[in-house]
Every structure is written in C-alpha cells, then in structure tokens.
C-alpha cells in the first residue's frame, strides 16, 4: 500500500533544504512542510518579517516564502517535535570534505548525516520514509539504514518503528534554483521499496510530469549525482584550458565555443569560459569521486577526475599571476577593484568562489582591494579571506595615504566612486549591472596606464578600448 504523506520534515535549512521545501509547500498546499535546523540565526532569518533578510538569495524565492510561510511552511529549531510529526523526513545537511583522518582532503565528512540519522532513529514514530537530499557518497544509504534499523522500538516500548530509505538527489543550479525545482530536467528517486518510491513520486506529480520522474536502485541514484557534477565541472575545466590556448595562439574562445557548441553531440551549455568553477558541490563531489575510485582500486579513474580539480586550481592562479604581470610585475600598493565575489551571478553563495583564491593571491602581493558585490555580505568576505575589511575615513574616493593599506581590502557599495585612482578593475562574477557601465567616466577616474581584466566576458570590449583602457579578456589575445 502506498503511504499517504501529510507531514514532511526537512533537516537542514541551507541552500538546498530551504528553497526545495519552499517549492514543496507552494505546490502541495495539503502537505505540512517543516524545515528544522540547529542554527538559530539561520532559522531567525527564514522567519524574518522582512523577506529581504532571507539567508539565501534566489530569484523567485521570497515570493514563494510570502505565499506559504504561516500557511503550510514552517521554519523551526525544534528538531525533535517535527521529526515526531513527520511521515517523510528529508536529510539536507552539509557534507563537507574531511579535513583530517582517513580520506582527508577527498572523502566526505558524514558526521552531520549520521547525527541526523540518529535523531530520526530516536524521535520518529511509526513508519517513516527517510530521504537523502544531501549529496552523498555511494553506499551512504546503507549507513543510514543500519542506524535506523538499530532502533525498531521506542525506548518506552509504546510503539514500533520502521523505516525506508530513499535517495532523491538535487540537481539545482544556484541562481536558477527555483526554476530548476519547478521545471526540472528530471527527478531522480532511488530506493528498494516501490511503495516508498511511489509515495515520493506522488508528491512530485503535483507539478511534474510522470515521464520526468526516474526510478533507479539507491546506489545508482547516489552515484548519478556525483557523476552529474563531475561531468559539468569537467566541461568548465575543459573550456578554460582551451581559453589559455586561445590566448597563446590568437584564437577567440567565444568563437571556438560557438563552433563546437553547435555540434549536437556536444551542445552549447557550460561552454562559457570564466575564472573557474566554484560553489558547494563541484570540487567536493569530484574529490569524493576521486576518493571512491581509489578506495575501490581504480587509480586511473581517480587520476582522471583529480586532473579536473588541478586544472581549475591552476586556472584561477593563472588569472591572478596574469594581473600581476600586466601591472609591471608587482601590485604592491596598487589599488585593484574586484567586481563580483559570489561564485556566480544571482546568488549570495561564495563557497569555493574563484574570487577567494584570486583575491588571496593579490593580497599576498600587497594589493589594495576594493571589493563590490550586490548580494554578498562583507562579513562573509571577511570570513572567506581571513582578513577583516579596512575602513577609510571619509568618502570612498579619499585615497590619500592609501599605501599604508597594502595587503588589505575595503568593501564598497558604489561602483563608479570605487574606481577613483584604481590601477585595475577585475570582473569575477557576471552580475548584469557590470555590463552597463559608463566607461568614459570610469576611464577619467582611473590611474593610467589602467587595466580592465574581464574573466567573464561581461563588459563591452569595444567601449573599454574606446575609453583608452587596456583590456585583457579571457580566451582572447586580440586586445
């Protein structure tokens, strides 16, 4: 018999859990959706009356929250209460790369997943479907199932417990997560119990055609997520390697990408050269794949995927080294404006952002950075760089005695004033507002000879050159 799901609990109110459960609540008004997290500050932000204070920025998210919160969508720190109420529980917690011990630097640290499984085992009542939503290594479901099966009866012996475990990986692209949830390419559900699979499928069928809902065994589902991210990251590293070759040979990477993208066997997606892949998943998942390959005795497979990460790291350092080279071999005491700190546009997520490595390299060289991003909080930048931002007395354009700030950075909300006396501008995130700048005005403010480094092909090359500025554009040697 297919269980009827009336109450959902999601453990984890982060970049996956928050948006995913918001769409569930929006599309399934007859289901109570409760998102729980031990992070009190995060839950407080989700519950803020000011929707601009949400902990996550995603286009379309706050509109959904405004419709559903208080109706059938709830955010809470009371983990026990909502586990007890749930017919279905999603585990959507962080799975960072291990920093020490066996597999350090490659394997996923599953301590939070294990902690969730133990909470579910302790607090759940009756029959409960447990769904892996976090990106997890193959065979993690086996660990969860063993923990759950170890508690088949409540401590007070008043009721029996039983569980089924499903894998339902997310395939979200930050910046378009709401659209990805509402109009997915596919929904993947892996499991062993057909009734449990059908129960989750029936939820998705409220807005997704049945032919887009794929059923597999649980191990295939877990591995499919890692493989999808690895393939996407591989394409990014591949086109970025070609961008370096284009700069050396006189080709234009945009033209090369257009030429190969029209090949139906290749396709045009993920062929935009940039400063390298970032985000919470790509690097972590590839390293996890590397670890699993070594664990199962496949060193050649491990070496292949490890090369994707190495190329990405090399490419990011290549950009910072190129900036130093173009600025006469040193950036010590020179003012450089960094435009964009999020790992991509339309998100405030900075995890593994290329901007972090590039900024750290430039700060190490003694650069004075003025960092702008329309959505990233300066406190997050402080955390990522490990250096507190400096504060200027007076207006942002007051650059007297700026040399004493070598190796430091400032946050700025204003683009044009920040360019005053700047030696270089570096575009690292493809925010749309960066494509509509007054280059004649900017040129008047910068210290000559001034450079514009465009790692996203976001600015108008023609207007930059016409304004009398030097330009480096990724994958292009013609400027």
Among this protein's residues, is 225 annotated catalytic? Answer: yes
Give burial (CB, 10 Å; 0-12/13-18/19+) of 197. buried
Query: Which of 351, 282, 329 is closest to 56 using CA atoms?
Result: 351
Q: Going by C-beta distance under 8 Å and a sequence separation of 6 or more, which residues neighbour residue 19? A: 56, 58, 61, 172, 177, 178, 181
Give me the DSSP letters along 361-428.
Answer: HHHHTT-EEEEE-SS--HHHHHHHHTSPPP--SS-TT--TTGGGGTT-EEE-S-HHHHTTT-SEEEE-
Two structure tokens written together for 408: 């430091």
User: How many Å apart are CA 132 and CA 144, to the nearest integer?
Assistant: 9
Among this protein's residues, is 170 annotated catalytic? Answer: yes
DSSP letter for 207, please: T
Query: Which of 272, 282, 350 is closest to 313 using CA atoms?
Result: 282
Query: Which of 210, 342, 344, 322 is closest to 270 using CA atoms?
Result: 344
CA distances for 266 relative to 223, 271, 305, 364, angstroms: 22, 10, 19, 40
Active-site choice (281, 337, 359, 426): 281
Active-site choice (98, 161, 225, 283): 225
User: How many Å apart are CA 60 and CA 55, to the nearest integer?
Assistant: 14
Among this protein's residues, is 40 annotated catalytic? Answer: no
- Torsion-angle region of residue 189: left (phi > 0), alpha (psi -120 to 50) or beta? beta
* CA angle 286–292–297, rounded 5-degree value: 130
Residues designated as active site: 170, 225, 281
């Amino acid at each position: 018999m297919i269980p009827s799901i009336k109450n959902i609990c999601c453990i984890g109110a982060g970049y996956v859990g928050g948006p995913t459960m918001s769409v569930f609540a929006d599309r399934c008004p007859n289901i109570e959706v409760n998102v729980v997290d031990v992070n009190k500050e995060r839950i407080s932000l989700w519950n803020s009356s000011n929707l601009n204070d949400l902990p996550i920025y995603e286009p379309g998210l706050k509109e959904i929250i405004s419709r559903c919160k208080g109706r059938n969508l709830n955010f809470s720190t009371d983990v026990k209460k909502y586990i007890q109420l749930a017919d279905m529980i999603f585990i959507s917690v962080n799975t960072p790369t291990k920093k020490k011990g066996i597999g350090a630097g490659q394997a996923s640290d599953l301590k939070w997943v294990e902690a969730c499984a133990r909470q579910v085992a302790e607090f759940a009542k009756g029959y409960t479907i447990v769904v892996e939503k976090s990106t997890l290594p193959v065979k993690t479901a086996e660990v969860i199932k063993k923990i759950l099966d170890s508690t088949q009866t409540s401590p007070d012996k008043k009721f029996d417990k039983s569980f089924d475990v499903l894998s339902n990986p997310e395939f979200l692209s930050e910046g378009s997560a709401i659209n990805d949830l509402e109009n997915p390419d596919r929904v993947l559900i892996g499991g062993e119990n057909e009734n449990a699979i059908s129960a989750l499928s029936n939820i998705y069928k409220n807005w997704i055609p049945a032919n887009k809902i794929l059923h597999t065994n649980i191990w295939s589902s877990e591995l499919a997520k890692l493989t999808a991210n690895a393939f996407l990251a591989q394409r990014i590293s591949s086109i970025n390697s070609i961008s370096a070759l284009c700069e050396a040979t006189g080709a234009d990477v945009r033209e090369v990408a257009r030429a190969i993208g029209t090949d139906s066997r290749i396709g045009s997606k993920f062929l935009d050269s940039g400063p390298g892949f970032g985000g919470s998943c790509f690097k972590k998942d590839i390293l996890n794949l590397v670890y699993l390959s070594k664990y199962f005795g496949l060193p050649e497979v491990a070496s292949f995927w490890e090369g994707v990460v190495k190329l990405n790291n090399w490419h990011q350092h290549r950009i910072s080294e190129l900036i130093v080279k173009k600025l006469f071999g040193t950036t010590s005491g020179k003012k450089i404006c960094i435009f964009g700190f999020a790992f991509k546009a339309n998100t405030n997520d900075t995890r593994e952002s290329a901007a972090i490595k590039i900024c750290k390299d430039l700060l190490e060289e003694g650069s004075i950075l003025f960092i702008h991003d329309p959505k990233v909080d300066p406190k997050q930048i402080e955390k990522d760089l490990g250096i507190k931002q400096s504060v200027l007395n007076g207006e942002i354009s007051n650059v007297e005695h700026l040399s004493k700030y070598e190796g430091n950075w400032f946050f700025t909300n204003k683009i044009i004033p920040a360019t005053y006396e700047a030696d270089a501008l570096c575009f690292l995130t493809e925010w749309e507002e960066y494509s509509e700048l007054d280059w004649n005005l900017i040129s008047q403010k910068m210290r000559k000879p001034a450079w514009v480094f465009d790692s996203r092909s976001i600015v108008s090359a023609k207007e930059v050159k016409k304004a009398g500025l030097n330009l480096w554009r990724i994958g292009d040697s013609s400027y």
